[in-house]
Amino acid sequence: MMKWQGVGFDLDNTLFSHELAFKKAIKHCYILYLNKFCQSKPIVSTETFFSLFKINSDKYWYLIEEKGLTKREYRRIRFNETMKSLGLPYGDHIADFFHNNYEECVDDYSEPYSGLYELLSLLKNKKIILAIITNGTRKTQCGKIERLKLNKWIQKNNIIISEDVGYEKPEKEIFNCLQKRLQLHSKELLYIGDSWKHDVVGAMDAGWDSIFLNTRNEKRNTNHKPLGEFHTLEEVTSYFLSI
């Protein structure tokens, strides 16, 4: 018998590849952008555009984490700097057009990781309460959850989205929100996620057990010791079966 009464999951890059969905959606939006703003301009290939866009997405991310810029401000900067470098039309209104299209289509590219439904079924059959704790906006994260059909296993009340509760991982308060909803002790809870800082450190500092699902080959930078480190959901399933 498992020691946990509840198992929580991160969403992006834990239950599906956000990186792959992001890439496909951004490329789709680039085609829409070309059709609207660049009909008389030399065409820059989709791969060339995306490579630079991804570089700028990573380069300017610190502006949100360290400078307190809003998501819209950050998105405008990464878009405008990319298009400026490529010699293509840019501006805040064009950046907003581009990212509005992104918000509308990104859910369509969210596909479950292999082994997801088998893992959820295994835990559900063992009478484990399943939950999600995710940073992000309600509209965006709920769209992904619906696309992945997670409501079949996870009750709506057991889904915690940072925008709704006013806390973000790795803050322990967001883990406490779910703990109170489930009316369980922290030692009865396990959290699974791909981010060392947000998921492993956040959960363990809140008193939970944790599993590091390292889907992006992230390096550890603290001395926290999760129960295990795995790279696929199939490996996580095997771990549960072994105990």
Q: What is the pLDDT at residue 65?
A: 81
Cα distance between residue 222 and residue 243, in whole Å: 27
Q: How would residue 45 be classed by pLDDT, with cut points 50, 70 and 90? A: very high
The stretch 31-42 carries a mean pLDDT of 88
What CATH fold (topology level) applies to the domain 6-16+111-242? Answer: Rossmann fold (3.40.50)
The Cβ of residue 222 has, within 10 Å, a number of other Cβ atoms equal to: 11
- Cβ atoms of 116 and 17 closer than 8 Å: no
* Domains 6-16+111-242 and 19-109 equal at CATH topology level: no
Whole-model pTM over 0.75: yes
- Give yes or no for residue 43 having a pLDDT over 90: no
For the chain, what are the domain ranges? Answer: 6-16+111-242, 19-109
Bigger pLDDT: 4 or 1?
Answer: 4
The model's confidence at residue 168, banded by pLDDT at 50, 70 and 90, is very high
CA distances from 29 to 34, 60, 139, 202 (A): 9, 20, 19, 34
Q: Would the pLDDT of 129 be above 80? A: yes
Residues composing the chain: 243
Q: What's the CATH class of domain 19-109? A: mainly alpha
pLDDT for the residue 40 = 75
Q: Is pLDDT above 80 for 109? A: yes
Q: What is the mean pLDDT of residues 200-205?
A: 98
